[in-house]
Amino acid sequence: MENEPLIDDALKTELSALYAAEERHYHGLAHIEAMLALARDYQGELDDPEAVEAAIWFHDAIYDSRAKDNEAQSAALAEQKLAGRTDAARLKRISAMILATATHQLPPFDDAAATRDASLFLDMDLSILGADPVAFDAYERAVRREYDWVEEPIWRAGRGAVLKSFLARPHIFLTQEFRQRFEPKARLNMARSLETLS
C-alpha cells in the first residue's frame, strides 16, 4: 500500500472520463492539466505533493452547474476511491482541500505544512484569473457556456457579485508566490470583466 501511487493510471482514466463530459467547457481535463503543471512548478514548495495531486484530480470530479454540493460530492468520491490507499488523516487533508474550493477559504488545519499545501492548491485553482487576457476571456466564455441555462440578466448579476467579492479581498491569492505571479493581472482581468458585465 505504501509504495503505490495515490492516483494510479486506472484512476486517472476513470476520472478523465468524468472530466471529458461535453457540458464541461471549462471544468474539464485542460483545467486539471493546467493545475498539475503548476503543482510540478511548485513541487519543491509542497509538503505532500501526492496529496495535492489527488486533490487536483478529484476537486471538480463531480460538476453540475445546477447543483450546490459539487465540492462535497467530489470530496466524498475522493474518500471512497482513495480509501485503503492511504491513512485516514491524509485522506481527511485531501478531502478538506477539495471542500475548500467551494469558498476558497483555507481549511482550519492545525498543521502548518497542510495549511501551506492547501494555500498553494487553492491558488493553483484560481490561477486562470491571472492568465493573459486572451486565455482569461476564453475562460469567461467557457464558464458562461456551462451556465447557459441561466438567463443573461441573472448571470450578469451573479457573476458580477462573484468578481466583486474577489476584488474586495485584500489578496486574491493566499501565497506570496502566486500573488507575485498572478495578482496584478487577475485584478486587471476581473475589473475588465466587471465593466463588460455592467
Domain count within the chain = 1
Interval 124-143: pLDDT, tens:
999 999 999 999 999 999 99
Could you please report the per-residue DSSP string of 167-190? HHSS-SSSSHHHHHHHHHHHHHHH
Interval 86-122: pLDDT, tens:
999 999 999 999 999 999 999 999 999 999 999 999 9
Read off the pTM: 0.95
**Residue 4 within a domain:** no
Q: Phi and psi dihedrals of 83, rounded to 5? A: -60, 135
**Residue 70 within a domain:** yes
Looking at residue 29, which CATH number applies to its domain?
1.10.1300.10
What one-character DSSP code corresponds to residue 23? T
Residue 140's domain comprises: 9-197
